[in-house]
Amino acid sequence: MKAKTTYYINRSIMGLAFNMMFTATALYRIDIAKLEIYQLILIGTAMELSIFLFEMPTGIVADLKSRKISVITGIFIIGFATVFEALTPYFFMIFIAQVLWGFGYTFISGALQSWASDETHKKDLSHMLLTGSQLYTLMSIIGIVITAMIGTKDIKIALYVASIMMVVLGLTNIFFMKEENFHKEPHDHHLFKAYMNQFKKGYQHIKSNQVLKIMFVVMLFFGLYSEGIDRTYEIHILDHLDFRTLIDLPAIWILSIINAFIVLLGFILMQLIKKYVAKHKQIFGWLITFTMTMIIGVLCFGFLPNAYLAVLGFLIFHAAREASSPLLDTILLSYTPSNIKATVLSTFGQIDAIGQIISGLIMVAIGLTLDIKFIYLVTALILVVPVISLIQLRFKKVKL
């Protein structure tokens, strides 16, 4: 099986399974586990703390041992963590499940993109990543619809089905995911020293690269903004905007329809920019546009009095966010040599996690003392920093 095909299959199944998990757990935590706003944020912070602790070690494992093994390990752990949460509708157990989920994700983060980049020799890298994101988006819609259909009867079944999909994907990768262009970094010393040397290589590369130093700030603040809105948008839509009353549908269908619109808009945006990016390489300009759109969208979501317009603002925010993700990966991969790709991507994943941990603490404090609208105001203000940093790169006229 060709590397591109394998990459697309992984992105497609992950889009299907992950969005079944995300849609189902949102309602599961609100209606079955009965979690409060601060608890929802704390659960997200638990996952990000796990990513912070394990992102770098797992990235180094991927560079020193095998990116294929790293991806497969992460897939199986995520499948187990999802089943664990479905079996235990209590805050502490869901907290532990999210720690496991984050741990599993760190094995995939960076490793899958690095594997694909090497196995395709960086050929049409930005096009491949954007296509992978589109497939992820399309399968997300299918996953959301399946969740809505199953979740009307029992939301837990959707989580079990998503877990089975991850297990099947892991088994498929064992037999069909080839790793022919990966070269292990040679080391004649103990494994721990090898890990530390690999970490130093990644750190020194980021420190010496002008673009990556600025991207350090961008990724930190992209982490800082996200926790508040990621963990509260469902409860804001269902309860604060009162969509349970406005639309005569089960809550799972309301969330599913909204999530389907999110991924559909993201797909359209990525389709619009894919050819343009391939021809003109205006990646920094697109990122600036998307980040400014996110600021406008989150302010509309938090402050517009009309519930439908507020949700439209959220849809715009999330679509711009989805479209920006492959562009960020393209920049990081384009400025990183092959032997430290997973390490560098994991470093940036860890930076993002640090931002989300700090964000979680800030948003919990706001959630306990102030109105939820202040969470969205702070979110918008934080996003101003990435805009300024990306404008700086745009004016430097750096090339990919």
Residue pair 22/155 in contact (Cβ under 8 Å)? The answer is: no
Please indicate, yes or no, if residue 99 is contained in any of the structural domains. Answer: yes
Express as a percent the part of the chain with pLDDT over 90. Answer: 28
- Reported confidence tier of residue 152, pLDDT bands at 50, 70, 90: confident
Please determine, for residue 218, whether its predicted confidence score (pLDDT) is greater than 70.
Answer: yes
Instruction: Give first-to-last CA distance, the chain, whole Å.
Output: 29
Please determine, for residue 187, whether its predicted confidence score (pLDDT) is greater than 60.
Answer: no
What was the pLDDT predicted at 272? 77
What was the pLDDT predicted at 82? 94
Please indicate, yes or no, if residue 116 is contained in any of the structural domains. Answer: yes
Please determine, for residue 263, whether its predicted confidence score (pLDDT) is greater than 80.
Answer: no
* Highest-pLDDT range among 70-79, 83-92, 364-373: 70-79
Q: What is the pLDDT of residues 28-45, one digit of tens each?
A: 998 888 888 888 888 888
* Highest-pLDDT range among 159-173, 208-222, 338-352: 159-173
Please indicate, yes or no, if residue 371 is contained in any of the structural domains. Answer: yes
Q: What is the pLDDT of residues 194-209, one digit of tens each?
A: 667 767 777 788 888 8
| CB-CB neighbours of 142 under 10 Å | 16
Q: Rounded to whole angstroms, how far apart are CA atoms 103 and 109?
A: 10
Closest by CA to 61, choosing from 219, 212, 192, is 192
What was the pLDDT predicted at 280? 46
Q: What's the structural domain count of the chain?
A: 1
Please indicate, yes or no, if residue 328 is contained in any of the structural domains. Answer: yes
What was the pLDDT predicted at 309? 95
Q: What is the mean pLDDT of residues 356-362?
A: 86
Residue 253: which domain range?
3-176+189-396
Please indicate, yes or no, if residue 286 is contained in any of the structural domains. Answer: yes
Please indicate, yes or no, if residue 315 is contained in any of the structural domains. Answer: yes
Q: Between 28 and 64, where is the model more confident?
A: 28
Please indicate, yes or no, if residue 249 is contained in any of the structural domains. Answer: yes
Please indicate, yes or no, if residue 233 is contained in any of the structural domains. Answer: yes
Domain with 116 in it: what CATH number? Answer: 1.20.1250.20
